[in-house]
Amino acid sequence: MATGDTAMEPVLSVRNLSLEFVTRRGVLRALNEISFDIARGEVLGVVGESGAGKSLTGTAIIGLIDKPGRLSGGEIWLKGQRIDNIGHDGLRKIRGRRIGMIFQDPLTSLNPLFRVGDQIAETVLTHMPVSKAEARARALALLTEVGIPAPESRIDAYPHEFSGGMRQRVVIALALAAEPDLIIADEPTTALDVSVQAQIITLLKRLCRTRGTSVMLITHDMGVIAETADRVAVMYAGRIVEIGPVADVIRQPKHPYATGLMGAIPALGAKVQRLTQISGAMPRLNAIPAGCAFRPRCTEAIGKCAEAVPPLVPVGATSARCWLHEAQVERSASHG
Amino acid sequence: MFAFAIRSLAQGVLVLVTVAFIAFSMFRFVGDPVVNMLGQEATQQDRQELTERLGLNDPWPIQFARFLGNAAQGEFGVSYRQGRKVSDLIKERLPATLELAVLSAIFATGLGVLLGVYAAINRTGFVSNVIMTTSLIGVSLPTFLIGIGLIYIFAVELRWLPSFGRGDVVRLGWWSTGLLTESGRKSLILPVLTLGFFQLTLIMRLVRAEMLEVMRADFIRFARARGIADRSIELRHALRNTLIPVVTIAGLQLGSVIAFAIVTETVFQWPGLGALFVNAVQFADVPVMSAYLMFVAAVFVIVNLTVDLLYFILDPRLRSGRRVAKGH
Tens-place pLDDT, residues B129-141: 888 888 888 888 8
Q: Are B194 and B147 in contact (CB under 8 A)?
A: yes
Q: What is the pLDDT of residue A13?
A: 94
pLDDT score recorded for residue A181 = 93
> pLDDT higher for A271 or B285?
B285
For A15, the 3-state DSSP assignment is strand
Note whether B225 contacts A150, CB cutoff 8 Å: no
Q: Which of A44, A77, A335, A17 is nearest to A213 (CA)?
A: A44
Distance from CA of A237 to the nearest CA of B (A): 25
Asked whether the predicted pLDDT for residue B275 surpasses 50, the reply is yes
Is position B1 within any domain?
Answer: no
Query: How far is the C-alpha of A11 from the C-alpha of B86, rounded, in Å?
Result: 80
Is A95 at the interface with chain B, CB within 8 A? yes
Look at B223 and A111 and tell me if their CB atoms are within 8 Å.
yes
Alpha-carbon torsion angle B286, B288, B289, B294, nearest 10: 120
Find the distance separating the first CA and the last CA of chain A, reported in whole Å: 34
Alpha carbon separation from B322 to B153, B271, B326 (Å, rounded): 56, 48, 6
Task: Yes or no: say if B83 and B32 are a contact pair by the CB < 8 Å rule.
Answer: no
Question: Among B235, B238, B206, which residue's Cα sits nearest to residue B108?
Answer: B206
Tell me, yes or no, whether B232 lies in a domain: yes
Pairing of strands A99-102, A182-186: parallel
Strand pairing of A318-320 and B175-177? unpaired
Smallest Cβ distance to A109: which of B222, B229, B326? Answer: B222
Q: Which residues of B touch A161 (CB under 8 A)?
A: 322-323, 328
What is the C-alpha separation between A30 and A32, in angstroms, rounded? Answer: 7
ipTM of the complex as predicted: 0.85
Give the model's confidence band at B181: pLDDT under 50 very low, under 70 low, under 90 confident, else very high. Answer: confident
Q: What is the mean pLDDT of residues B228-232?
A: 90
d(C-alpha A224, C-alpha A202), whole Å = 10
> Hey, is the C-beta of B179 within 8 angstroms of any chain A C-beta?
no
Contact B328 A150 (CB under 8 A): yes
Contact in structure between A199 and A205 (CB atoms under 8 Å): no
Answer with the residue of higher pLDDT: A13 or B60: A13
CB atoms A126 and B227 under 8 Å: yes
- Collapsing DSSP to helix, strand or coil, A36 comes out as strand
Instruction: Report the chain A residue with the minimal C-alpha distance to residue B316.
Output: A113
Number of CB atoms found within 10 A of residue A129's CB = 6
Whether residue A111 and residue B218 make contact (CB cut-off 8 A), yes or no, is no
Average pLDDT, integer, range B247-257: 83
Given CA atoms A93, A94, A95, A96 in this order, what sign does their dihedral have? positive
| Residue range(s) defining the domain that contains residue B313 | 95-326
Determine contact: B222 vs chain A, CB below 8 A. Answer: yes
CATH of the domain at B307: 1.10.3720.10
CA distance A306 to A281: 18
Sign of CA dihedral A203, A204, A207, A208: negative
Q: How confident is the model at residue B147 (pLDDT cuts 50, 70, 90)?
A: confident
Residue A129 CA to residue A138 CA, distance in Å, equals 12
Best residue of B212, B216, B224, B226 to probe chain A, by most A CBs closer than 10 Å: B226
Q: Which residues contact A109 (CB under 8 A, 6 or more apart)?
A: A102, A103, A167, A171, B218, B219, B222
Spatial neighbors of A35 by CB under 8 A, at least 6 apart, are: A14, A15, A16, A17, A74, A240, A312
Whether A92 and B219 lie within 8 Å, measured CB to CB: no
> Which residues of chain A does B227 touch, with a Cβ-Cβ cutoff of 8 Å?
92-97, 123, 126-127, 178
> Across residues B182-190, what is the average pLDDT?
87
For residue B323, what pLDDT band results from cuts at 50, 70 and 90? Answer: very low
Q: Which residues pair with A36 in a beta bridge?
A: A14
How many domains does one find in chain B?
A: 1
Q: Which of B8-30 are b and which e, b meaning 16 or more Cβ less than 10 Å from the residue's Cβ?
A: beeebeeebeebbeebbeebeee
Tell me the DSSP string of B4-25.
HHHHHHHHHHHHHHHHHHHHHH
Q: Does A161 contact B at CB distance below 8 Å?
A: yes
Q: Which of A62, A108, A153 sits opposite B326 (nearest CB)?
A: A153
| Residue B243, min C-alpha distance to chain A (Å) | 11
- For residue B217, being part of any structural domain is answered with yes
The conformational region for residue B227 under phi > 0 = left, psi -120 to 50 = alpha, else beta, is left
Q: Do B224 and A110 touch (CB under 8 A)?
A: no
| Contact at CB, A105 and B218, closer than 8 angstroms | yes
For A100, the closest chain B residue by CA position comes to B226
Tell me the chain A residues in contact with residue B314 when contact means C-beta distances shorter than 8 Å. Answer: 113
Does A111 reach chain B within 8 Å, measured CB to CB? yes
Inter-chain touch B224–A64, beta carbons under 8 Å: yes
Using a CB–CB cutoff of 8 Å, tell me whether A179 touches chain B: no
B313 touches chain A (CB under 8 A): no
Render each residue's pLDDT in chain A as its tens digit; 336 residues: 444 444 478 999 999 999 999 888 888 889 999 999 999 999 999 998 888 889 999 999 999 888 888 899 899 999 989 998 888 888 999 999 999 999 888 888 999 999 999 999 999 999 999 999 999 999 999 999 999 999 999 999 999 999 988 999 999 999 999 999 999 999 988 888 888 888 899 999 999 999 999 999 999 888 888 889 999 999 999 999 999 999 999 888 889 898 888 877 776 666 766 777 788 888 888 888 888 888 888 888 888 888 888 888 888 888 999 888 876 555 555 553
Q: Nearest by CB to B227, which of A96, A109, A157?
A: A96
Cα–Cα distance measured from residue B75 to residue B66, given in angstroms and rounded to the nearest whole number? 11
Which site among B212, B222, B319 would you substitute to test the A interface, given the most A Cβ atoms closer than 10 Å to its Cβ? B222
- Disruptive mutation site among A111, A156, A176 for chain B (greatest number of B CBs within 10 Å): A111
How far apart are the CA of B228 and the nearest CA of chain A, in angstroms? 6
Residues B237, A111: C-beta atoms closer than 8 Å: yes
pLDDT of B109 over the 80 cut: yes
Tell me, yes or no, if B231 comes closer than 8 A to chain A by beta carbon: no
Amino acid present at B12: G
Give chain B's mean pLDDT. 84
- Please report residues of A whose CB lies closer than 8 A to that of B223: 111
Q: How many CB atoms lie within 10 A of CB A288?
A: 18
Question: What is the distance between the alpha carbons of residues B326 and B321, in angstroms, rounded to a whole number?
Answer: 9
Q: Residue B285: count other Cβ atoms within 10 Å of its Cβ.
A: 22
B226–A113: do the CB atoms touch at under 8 Å? Answer: no
Beta-carbon separation of A122 and B228 below 8 A: yes
Q: Is residue B16 part of a domain?
A: no
Among B93, B86, B90, B141, smallest CA distance to B270 is for B93
Cα(A216)–Cα(A231) distance, rounded to whole angstroms? 10
Give which of B24, B25, B46, B26 is closest to B34, Cα–Cα: B46
What was the pLDDT predicted at A290?
A: 86
Q: Which chain A residue has its CA at the smallest distance from B313's CA? A: A113
| Distance separating alpha carbons of residues B301 and A174, to the nearest angstrom | 43
Considering only CA atoms, which of A248, A267, A269, A270 is closest in space to residue A259? A248
Residue in A95, A113, A157 closest to B227 by CB: A95
Pairing between β-strand A318-320 and β-strand A239-245 as defined by DSSP bridges: antiparallel
- Spatial CA neighbour of B309 closest among B246, B259, B247: B247
Say what the pLDDT of residue A43 is: 94
Residue B225 to residue A62, Cβ atoms within 8 A: yes
Cβ-Cβ contacts under 8 Å, A127 against chain B: 227
Q: How many CB pairs under 8 A join A and B?
A: 83
Give me the amino acid identity at A85. N
Nearest to B225 among A96, A115, A153 (CB): A96
Which residues are CB-contacts of A170 (< 8 A; sequence separation ≥ 6)?
A: A106, A110, A116, A119, A120, A143, A146, A148, A159, A162
Determine the distance in angstroms separating the CA of A102 from the nearest CA of chain B, rounded to an integer: 8
Of A200, A141, A198, A140, give the one whose Cα is nearest residue A165: A200
**Over residues B182-191, mean pLDDT:** 87
Which of A292, A231, A227, A226 is closest to A257 using CA atoms?
A292
Please give the full DSSP string across A181-216, using - where no structure is assigned: SEEEEESTTTTS-HHHHHHHHHHHHHHHHHHT-EEE
Q: Do B227 and A113 touch (CB under 8 A)?
A: no
Burial of B83 (0-12, 13-18, 19+ CB in 10 A): exposed
Q: Cβ distance A278 to A322 under 8 Å?
A: no
Which backbone phi and psi does B319 adopt, to 5 degrees? Answer: -85, 55
Q: Closest-CA residue in chain A for B237?
A: A111
